[in-house]
Structure formats: structure tokens, C-alpha cells
Chain A
């Protein structure tokens, strides 16, 4: 798939935990720290709420990149949720890489409620990365094919 003449506008889904990263995104907002509009945030209570299925679905529906943000290790509002998320995503991203969704299209970042700057920088760098990778291969659900 080649990038057309018009600028490639990736679809990026960001899962943010309510307590740290979502608040970090709010701080980025109130501090007017810009990042591309390609990023759309979904609020989850904790990074451990993110089922690998959600990420697969995003890639099935045409997302070009998915990023999961949570509290820093040790700072999880629910004590241990981000550790579960970290392990699950390590597994999932490795599998995604195997089936053709490059590692660059998936990312886990820890952003605290006080890190508006980090949130903005993270999103900028992630969008840059996705733009450099170009559009993603859409995952298909083979079960529905003949």
C-alpha cells in the first residue's frame, strides 16, 4: 500500500487509564501542549482493563497504531494493574509483530497525572512513527470467509 499524494492521516487509538494518563492528557490539554488530532483517546479505569481483544479489534477496523498509557510502575491506583497490562501487552505485541503488525504500531507508555509534557511528547513521537510506517494492513476476520 503506498501513501497517496495527500498527507497520510493515520487513525490512532490511545487507551488511557483514568488516574494517571487520562489526567496527564487533560494536563497536556489545559497546558495547550499540542499533538496531532489523529490521536483519539478512550478512557479506561486502569491500563489492566485493556483486553488484547480491544487492540485486535482496532487493527481489524483500520487503526494504524494503538498506544496504551498507564501509571508508572509502582504508582498504579489499583496497586498492580499496570504490571498485568505490561505483561499482557508484551505477549500481544509480540504476536501482532508475528502476524504483520509491526512493533512500531503498538506502544505502552507510562504517563503520570503530572506529566502533561510527557503525554504530548509521547503522542507526537508515536504519530511521527506511525506516519513513517504508513497505513497499516487491516487485520481480517477469517472466520467469516468461505
Chain B
């Protein structure tokens, strides 16, 4: 018979304002096996925990129930406290009377009644708890970073500097990511490439970093400390060891009509290409969809001109398998498609471009060699209109409900740069709100307005109409002056919403990492664990977690690296002891459980079984507790009821059901 203590937390007034905690204590004392019950303003505080300790010692408690916030918040706290005071940590159950009760109910009587029932269910469960011992698993001291943008590069460098091996897997032919496409960066106007490329070189030269470009994660198995990952290294058709990066193949390639992804399709590239001049590795890939050799079998110019003999048309995709202790997702973002935003005439006029396209136009390596010109006729624009929040802060399902966070600042940057370089070009910005929270951000925006004379209009644009003379008519409103505005422009720039890289969904599924309705990866706790995924061993870096600018991304990348280092520094991890267990007497060796186990944790052994005096060899299921993750699929699949889950046993859950329905 258990001796159970019930501890009811007020959580200040979070619980006590809606739940009569004294009443819950009173009701707890009426429960069978409850020998102690008390309430306290903050059970999670040091003082609260020591009260639990005292009660464990004085009342010789064998199990405790804490009625408090969600177990996802403080179960670990109370388990540790119990352990400190000599009780097995798995003899602790939490009744969630805050998130599931006091915060959602207003009526005190109703909330108290519900809290009492939740307390009862937890007491009923703890009656059936058994002490469990956590096992140990080893840690593979190597990390995987998925994505080679600034987030992935920074995370990898920080982990590698701590002395651990890191692999970067990047989908495109080069690392560098979105940042390599940018011209200047706010609020200091640093040249993006100038600050990024040293980092790229550092990552590539680092003895602890291995970079797999033009590669994708294909399959992930295992668990924290012990992931096994299949990486598809796509065929480059160029031998990375032989290529000298001279670039002759790209010059001579006769197929030059493929839209250049790096320049957002504003110009064309050859079929054999490196995305940009500073690419790492500086080794081209052959786009087999565009290559004449692959399409018709005739050509082979690149092979003929390559003095290093690096071109190899017979290369095949290669799958490599590696083991990792931790995985960091740094898959970044893209801008949304503008198909549904017909009113801005994007796609109808070449002079309506997105801000990322403007970055390429303003960049010296871009399609116009850095000259600001209209893409339709090459003329210098005299009137430029920027439209903010295109697809951001959107209440319908065309766009995104969130603020993309970076647009206000990069628009101020674009406006300032244009006014600086082309003082006779007028710049107008239509905005909903100007959001500039960040170090030196508002000062930067004010400089754009006050020193550079950028014309900011609070109001939205309803329509952009291409005119027969090639100009654009922008119809908008000025909300402050309460008037409609018709403005002729030579160029319109759309601050297009950003969204997580479309591949992230696939990756999240492989990692069993959760994702929100906007496809941003969910963090383990929105405030306190912002760089960890709820899936142990999976960490988040950069925009895959939510919109961020470069400084924030770099900071988060470092934070993710610290978490990874903290994990890899351990030799052993404690495993979750709530694993499946088979009753050998009931097991008939049918293999049903092994078939549903996603971890291959169940094997079969022939064992000598003593079944009530009958001794015979039987084939029985054996659970490898190091592999079992405790989902419980096998427990329900087992036709003979032999399989049960420790910590969530059939009897425990039935006891909870009974207590609730009582």
C-alpha cells in the first residue's frame, strides 16, 4: 500500500484565484492512501520543494502527487526534488490544474471540482506507479547541421571550435544561403559578401567541419545522442577533387538559357555553373535538365575544355550514412510566391520586383552589374515606390498572418542606398507600421527619413497599373491625410513576406520535430528553450524557427551551438525508463509487437520459461530499453496483453479513467 502525499500549488494567484486549493487539500485527504496533503503558494520554489522533502521524510511517503502547472513545465523539477529527498523520481505524478483548469475556467466551484477530479486521477495513478531506473546511452560526438546559410555556418563553426566534429549538409551547390544574395546589410550597411565570405572560408577550412554541398538529408533514424542519417550526395558530374575552379567550362558551355536561381531568375546561367563567384566549394555542377549532353547525348564541350579532366558524365548520386549525437536544423527561408497578388502587377511588368530581386539588381555581381535600372528598358528609374507588408500581416489565406520582421529595415536600407547613390531619384514607401525594434534600428530608419528625404506614406497600395508609356500607376491611400493617392512610378519594389524553406516540412517529418501552422519549427518552450526542438537532440538555428534578421540569426546560431556542445560534452545520457516491458508468461512470440515498433527495439529470444511449474523453451519478445522510446504502439497491438508500458501502464491509465468517470 502506497503512502501518498498530495501537494497543491497556488502558483501565486494563477491557480488559487480560480481553484479553492484548501478544498482540494481537504478532498485529497479523503482519498485512499493519502497520508499527507498541503497547499503552498509556490510549490516549485526552493521552500516548496523542501516542504515536499520534509513530508517525504516525516510521513514516509512512497509516492507524491503535485497539483500544479503542466508536467511539461515542472515534472522534471519535482522528480529531481523527490530524488533529492530519497524518493524514486518516477513515484511522482503531476495533476495539471493550471493550464488544464484554473486558466481556462472562470467559475470557482466548477474549477475546484475539476481540480479535485484531476487530483484523484493522479492519486489513482500513483498508487500503481513503480520505481523506475533510468538507463544510459552513449553519445556520438559529432553533430549534423542541415542548411549551409549564415545560421548553419555559424552553428557549425561554434561547435567545431569547441572541438567537436560537425557536418554541414547544404542542398545547393554552395554554402552561403540567402545572405550571399544580399548586397548590403542593415543597420551598418556592411557589404554582405564581405562579412559572409570569411565565415564561409573559415567553415570550409576548419579541421572539424565537413561540408556536403549539393546534398540532402534522405533518412533519419535513432534518437538523441545516437542518430543515424542517410545523406544523398547528388551527382555534380564534376570531380570535386580534380576541379581547379578555373571557370572555363562555364564560359564555353553552349547552353546558357537557364534562369539563374542565384539572381532570382533575372538573368540566365549556363548549364554547368557555380552559383556565384565566391562559392564554396568553387566547383561547378552540371544541371542535367539543361545540359545538351544529357538531353541529346551530343556536346561534351565542358569535358573537352577542362584541362583538369574533372568532368565526369557518369557520376551517380551517392548515399552516405553517418552517425550523429545532435542535429541542428538551419533550413532558412524563401520569399512567398506572388501568384495570388495580381493587384501589384508582379509578373505583368518587369519593373515590379521583389526586394530580394532588388538586392541582386543593386549588387555588383548581379544582372545589371550593380546599376540601378529598370529591367524592362534599362533606363534609370526616377520614381521608385516601395510597398510594405506584401503577404505579411495578412488576414486572408493569400498571405501570412505574421510580421516578416526584416522588411521595414531592409526597405529603409534600400531607400537610403538609392537616395545616396542616385540623389535625383525619388523614393516613396507605403507602409502599415514601421517596425524598428533593434539596436540602432530606429536611428537608421530616421536617417532614411530625415537625412535622405525618403517619403514615407502610411497607407496601403490597392493596385499597380502598368501604363502604355511603360511607367506604373500606383493607386494607394494616405491614411494620415485621409486621401487617395495616384502616383506614377518607374519601378515598384514589393517587400514580400518570407516563409520557411518549403523543404522544412519533409525534414521536420524525418526528425519528428514539430512544426506550426506556418511551417516554422516549434521550439521546446517559446521563452525558455527557444533553440531546442521538443524532440530531444534536435536544435533550431535561424529563420526555420521564426522570422529573424542576421544579428539575431547569428545569436541564435551560437545559442544552438552551445546546446549542442552541452549535449556532446556528455559521455552518457540518461534514457527514459518509461519503456515497454513484456510479460514472458503471457507472450506467445507472435511478432505483432515487433512489426509495429518504429525503432526496431523488439527482438525475440528463445528462453526457458517456468509457467506455473511447466518448464519449457518459448520464443518470447525482448525489449531493448536503450532503443525503446516509449510510444506504446506495441502495448495495444499485443494480442495476448503481454506488452505493457512502464509509467503509462494499462492499469495506471484505467485507474485514471475510473477516477475521472467516478
Contacts and interface: CB of A to CB of B under 8 A. Distances in A.
Interface in B141-176: none
B512 A79 contact: yes
**Which of the four size classes fits the interface of chain A?**
35 or more
Contact of A11 (B107, B111, B660): B660
A19 B514 contact: yes
B50 interface: no
A50 B658 contact: no
B85 interface: no
Contact of A13 (B107, B650, B657): B657
Nearest to A35: B104
A63 B657 CA distance: 9
B632 A45 contact: yes
B517 A112 contact: yes
A25 B70 CA distance: 10
A95 interface: no
Contact of A49 (B70, B509, B635): B635
A93 B535 CA distance: 31
Contacts of B656: 42
B632 A49 contact: yes
Nearest to A60: B661
B269 interface: no
Contacts of B648: 44-45, 49
Contacts of B508: 75
Contacts of A45: 578, 630-632, 645, 648
A137 interface: no
Contacts of B653: 42, 44, 49, 51, 54
A34 interface: yes
A113 B103 contact: no
A128 B32 CA distance: 34
A58 interface: yes
Given A23-B534, A112-B516, A113-B514, A84 B103 contact: no
Given A44-B648, A113-B514, A25 B100 contact: yes
A51 B629 contact: no
Interface string A22-34: 1101101110111
A41 B96 contact: yes
Nearest to B512: A77
Contacts of A84: 596, 633, 636-637
Nearest to B111: A37
A23 B72 contact: yes
A42 B94 CA distance: 11
B523 to A, nearest CB: 10
A114 B516 contact: yes
Contacts of B107: 37
Contacts of A78: 512, 598, 629, 631, 633
A75 B104 contact: no
B661 A74 contact: no
Contacts of B96: 26, 41, 43
Contact of B654 (A32, A41, A57, A63): A57
B454 interface: no
A126 to B, nearest CB: 15
Interface stretch (B112-120, B208-216, B232-240, B386-394): B112-120
Contacts of A28: 99, 104
B640 to A, nearest CB: 13
A76 B514 CA distance: 8
B657 A114 contact: no
Contacts of A49: 631-633, 635-636, 645, 648, 653
A134 interface: no
Interface string A56-94: 011001110000000100111111110010001000000
B405 to A, nearest CB: 18
Contact of B636 (A30, A51, A75, A80): A51
Given A26-B99, A114-B515, 18 more contacts: A23-B72, A29-B98, A29-B100, A32-B103, A40-B117, A42-B653, A42-B656, A42-B657, A45-B645, A48-B596, A49-B631, A50-B636, A58-B660, A84-B633, A84-B636, A112-B515, A112-B517, A113-B522
21 contacts: A11-B661, A19-B534, A26-B73, A26-B99, A26-B100, A28-B99, A29-B99, A29-B103, A30-B103, A43-B96, A44-B632, A61-B658, A63-B660, A78-B512, A78-B629, A78-B631, A112-B516, A112-B517, A112-B522, A113-B516, A115-B517
